[in-house]
Chains A and B, each alone.
Chain A
Amino acid sequence: QVQLQESGPGLVRPSETLSLTCAVSGGSITPYYWSWIRQPPGKGLEWLGHIYSSAINTYNPSLKSRITMSLDTSRNQISLRLTSVSAADTAVYYCARGTWGVTPWGLGTLVIVSS
């Protein structure tokens, strides 16, 4: 049974870079699509993007200039990088497998952007 676990700093300062990893256990990250989704406190879900390989990825247009996703097949993990963060980026960040119907999901990790 595939399990996902997000990790990263819980606090990021404004204008800095948010970096998260999603460790996958119980299965290989290839050949699957992997998605990142976030949820600001008390609000709905926002799709950030998905990745299949370094050359095959799609990002939310609203974040396109700030977001990068990558795969590390040797460590069986997926990474998310979001630059120039602001308070609006405060959210629980989830990784999940798939594109249009995503499952399973990780437990999520809360990232607070604050000075």
Chain B
Amino acid sequence: QSALTQPTSVSGSLGQSVTISCTGTTNDVGAYNSASWYQQHPGKAPKLLIYDISNRPSGISTRFSGSRSGNTASLTISGLQADDEADYYCSSRTSSGTLVFGGGAKLTVL
């Protein structure tokens, strides 16, 4: 199974918004409402930000939002804060019943 495609790095200024894309195929992102997003700070375990394309777990800020268009899922972070600087990973169910992750995107807050 091929990894989902994410930009290697993205950046945005404090207070601005940034969108991270996650491109898959008709066999994963485009086929199931299961795209999820994780935030990982250095040396820490990933934390679930978004599940089922656009749902936030309890306790996750409304500054984080998810969407999907065709085979591409997107994570938008609004009102960027210094603590948002981290790695972000997307994932999706596949037609084989497995899970596939994106390669990860490093967010730099300017």
The interface of chain A, by Cβ under 8 A from chain B, is 35, 37, 44-47, 49-50, 58, 60-62, 94, 99-103, 105-108
Range for the number of chain B residues in contact with chain A: 20 to 34
- Interface status of B23 (Cβ within 8 A of chain A): no
**Quick one: given A35-B99, A61-B1, are A44 and B89 in contact (CB under 8 Å)?**
yes
Asked if residues A103 and B45 are in contact (CB atoms below 8 Å), the reply is: no
Q: Which 4 A-B pairs have the closest CB atoms?
A: A101-B51, A103-B48, A100-B34, A101-B36
Asked if residues B98 and A44 are in contact (CB atoms below 8 Å), the reply is: no
The interface of chain B, by Cβ under 8 A from chain A, is 1, 3, 32, 34, 36, 38, 45-48, 50-52, 55, 57, 89, 91-93, 96-104
Asked if residues A61 and B102 are in contact (CB atoms below 8 Å), the reply is: no
Taking chain A's interface residues, is the majority helix, strand, or loop, or is none over half, making it mixed?
loop
Give the residue name and chain of the A residue nearest to B57 (CB).
A103
Distance in angstroms between the alpha carbons of A101 and B99 in the assembled complex:
10
Distance in angstroms between the alpha carbons of A105 and B38 in the assembled complex:
11
User: Cβ of B38: which chain A residues have Cβ within 8 Å of it?
Assistant: 45
Q: What are 24 contact pairs spanning A and B, CB under 8 A?
A: A35-B99, A44-B3, A44-B89, A44-B103, A45-B38, A45-B46, A47-B98, A47-B100, A49-B98, A58-B97, A60-B98, A61-B1, A61-B98, A62-B1, A94-B45, A94-B46, A100-B32, A100-B51, A100-B91, A100-B92, A100-B99, A102-B36, A103-B51, A106-B45
